Amino acid sequence: MKNSWIQYRKKLSEYIKDKDPRNFLNWDIIRHSMFSPASVLELDYIKKLPDWESWKKTLTEDRMGNPKRYKLMKSSSGNLIHHTYSLAQVLKTFDLDIKNLSKIFEFGGGYGSMARLAFKKGFSGKYIIFDLVEFNFLQEYFLESLGIKTSVNNYSARSASVSLINDIHGLKEDVVKDTDLFLATWSLSEVPISVRNDVLGAVKNPRYYLIAYQEKFEDIDNTGYFKDLRNRLTDYDWHNYPIEHLPGNYYLLGKKKI
């Protein structure tokens, strides 16, 4: 693991231990790595969706963590708008209703914002987040505070809607089989190739992929990596396109062919 990640995890652990979690979305370590300011183009895109009234309800931000409000929509935040914009890509492209999905797997779940959004939008199935243990702590705190039940490394917990897993060995076949949506927004593209391959090898044949990535991360050519992924998984209908307002960044969407 890169030394920068080791230092990041150490600092986050110290913050979790010493600081008031009710204000965690204003910790510098969170704001600089997990909280997007969101382009106005993202909000405009969401407003133009045919089901805007439904999306509008999901954009109401929660108080937990004391998030900074979005200047053009005070009831929301930049991060919630940004996550909504990303989720809308796969739902719109494949004319997909999230209410019809039964299992979502997210690699790298931040503090739980995308999971929160999925449930706001009407998802009622099983949501799995695979992440570092420090992030699991934040996800558990955030989601539980919103009334979304979680379990850590205990997929069989029946009362939990969200399973938080931080051990690769926890991604057993019975846990990840029949995954409807594999979700990784800038997370898969920021870890070593070996980790990517372990996770993609464990979560096989999801019905849909939603991946966001940057052209290059440290010494890894992500453009080439995800091109190879598309070439290997030929049983998917792929859509790979640039994010115009974020130069050098792309969405990669996939749908399993019938």
> pTM here?
0.95
Quick one: pLDDT at residue 147? 96
Quick one: pLDDT at residue 106? 98
Q: Are 15 and 9 in contact (CB under 8 A)?
A: no
Q: Give the pLDDT confidence of 45-79 residue by residue, as tens digits.
A: 999 999 999 999 999 999 999 999 999 999 999 99
Pure H helices in the chain: 3-18, 28-31, 40-47, 52-58, 78-93, 113-120, 133-145, 173-176, 193-202, 222-232
Q: Are 147 and 161 in contact (CB under 8 A)?
A: no
Q: What angle do CA 214, 217, 218 make, to 5 degrees?
A: 160
Q: What is the largest CA-CA distance in the chain?
A: 51
Quick check: helix, strand or coil at residue 84? helix
Q: What angle do CA 23, 44, 74 make, to 5 degrees?
A: 30
Quick one: pLDDT at residue 33? 82
Q: Can you give the residue ranges of every domain in the chain?
A: 3-256
Q: Which CATH superfamily is domain 3-256 in?
A: Vaccinia Virus protein VP39 (3.40.50.150)
How would you class 2 by CB atoms within 10 Å of its CB: exposed for 0-12, middle for 13-18, buried for 19 or more?
A: exposed
Question: Tens digit of pLDDT per residue, the chain (258 long)?
Answer: 556 778 888 899 999 999 999 999 999 988 888 888 899 999 999 999 999 999 999 999 999 999 999 999 999 999 999 999 999 999 999 999 999 999 999 999 999 999 999 999 999 999 999 999 999 999 999 999 999 999 998 887 778 899 999 999 999 988 999 999 999 999 999 999 999 999 999 999 999 999 999 999 989 999 999 999 999 999 999 999 999 999 999 999 999 998
Quick one: pLDDT at residue 3? 60
Quick one: pLDDT at residue 207? 98
Q: Give the pLDDT confidence of 170-190 residue by residue, as tens digits.
A: 999 889 999 999 999 999 999
Interacting residues of 130 by C-beta distance below 8 A, sequence separation 6+: 105, 106, 107, 108, 109, 165, 166, 168, 170, 171, 199
Q: From residue 181, how far is each of 31, 75, 100, 128, 206 by CA, in Å?
A: 27, 28, 11, 10, 6
Q: In whole angstroms, what is the distance from residue 253 CA to residue 238 CA?
A: 6
**In whole numbers, what is the pLDDT of the chain averaged over residues?**
94
